[in-house]
Structure 1
Amino acid sequence: MDLPAADAKFLKALAIAVVDHQSGTFKDIAEAAGVSKATLNRFCGTRANLIDMLHDHSTTQMNQIIQDADLLQAPVLDALQNLIDGHLANREMLLFMMAEWHPDCLLEDAEERRWQSYSDAMDAFFLRGQHEGIFRIDLSAAMLTEVFASLMFGLVESQRRGRVARAAMPGLLRQFFLDGASRR
C-alpha cells in the first residue's frame, strides 16, 4: 500500500505516540502526535483502527526494507548495510512493532502471522551469509536474525532516550553486529 508522504509521516508520529502512551486515551495519542482528537478521529476513526493501520504500515515498511536490501542478490555486506539503513529510516515503525510484539505472534495458529515473511527472509539472508563465509556458523541463522533485531531495537530505543548518538548508529550497528564487543 503506497501512502501519500504526508500520511506516512503522520503514521510515524502516531507510532511513537502510541508507544509513548500505550494505555493513554485517544486524545493523549492525538496530542502526542501534535494534532487534535478530531483530526485523529477523521484520519482513523477509532483507536483499534489506528492500531490496525499502524500494524499494516509497519508490516509493509519492514517487507519493503527486505525488498530494498536485495538480500538474495546483493553482496552480503552491502545487503547488511542496506538492512541497517532501511531499519533506521523506519525506526518509528520498528519501535511500534517491538512494542506490539508478543510471544505468540509467530505461532502456526496465530490469527495473523504478520512478521513471518520478514523473519523468513532474514533467516535466509543470514544462512546465505553463513554459506558464503561472512557470518559465523556456530550460531543458527534464526539466532543471527534475533541478535540483529534485538541489537537494532535496543540501539534505536537507546537513541530515543538520548543514550546513543543518532549519527553514530549506522556504523555502530554494522561494526557491533559483525565484530561484537571484543577488543581489537
Structure 2
Amino acid sequence: MTDSDFRWLTDEEQRVWRTFMQAYRDFNAHLDRQLRRDSGMPVAYYEILVMLSEAPGRALRMGELAEKVSSSRSRLSHAVTALEKSGYVSRCAADGDRRGQVATLTETGYATLVAAAPGHVTEVRTHLFDLLTPEQLKALGDIAESMGAKMRGVCEVERAQDDEGCADDGC
C-alpha cells in the first residue's frame, strides 16, 4: 500500500482523535485513582462487581463476564482471583460443565460495591455529565452507540484469538 492509497487523518481528525484519547486516558486514570483511594480497588475490579451485581443471582459464567467487561478470559481470571482473596467474589464449577466456572458476587462484595458507588457516580457526574449540554449528551450517546455496534464484532473476534488454547471457561 502506498501513501496515495492510504486514507490519512486530516488535521482536524488528528486533533479530535488525540484530544479524545487524552481525555479518555485522563478520565479513566482519575476514576481509577478515586476508586483505589476511596474503595481500595481499581476501576476494572469495580466494573466486574457491577456486572455481577446486575446479573441474575449475582452470578455469571466466566466467559460471559469476560465479554461484559471486554477482557480476555485469562486477564479476567487473574482479576477474579484477586477479588476472591478480598472476599468480594466466589468461584465454583458451572452446573453440568466441569470445565466452566461461575463467578458470584458475595454479600461482602455487594456491600463494598454499594459503598463505592456514590463516590464513583459523583466523579462521573462531575467530570463528564455536568459538563455537557442536553444536545451534547445525546450526541455522545449516539456516538457511543455507533462505536459500540461496530466494535462488538471486532472485539469478539479478537477475544477469541486471545483465548485460543483456553478451555471453555476455565482460564
Q: TM-score, normalised by structure 2?
A: 0.33
Structure that is richer in strand per residue: 2
- Larger-Rg structure: 2
Higher relative contact order (Cα pairs below 8 Å, separated by 6+ residues) = 2
Q: TM-score, normalised by structure 1?
A: 0.31
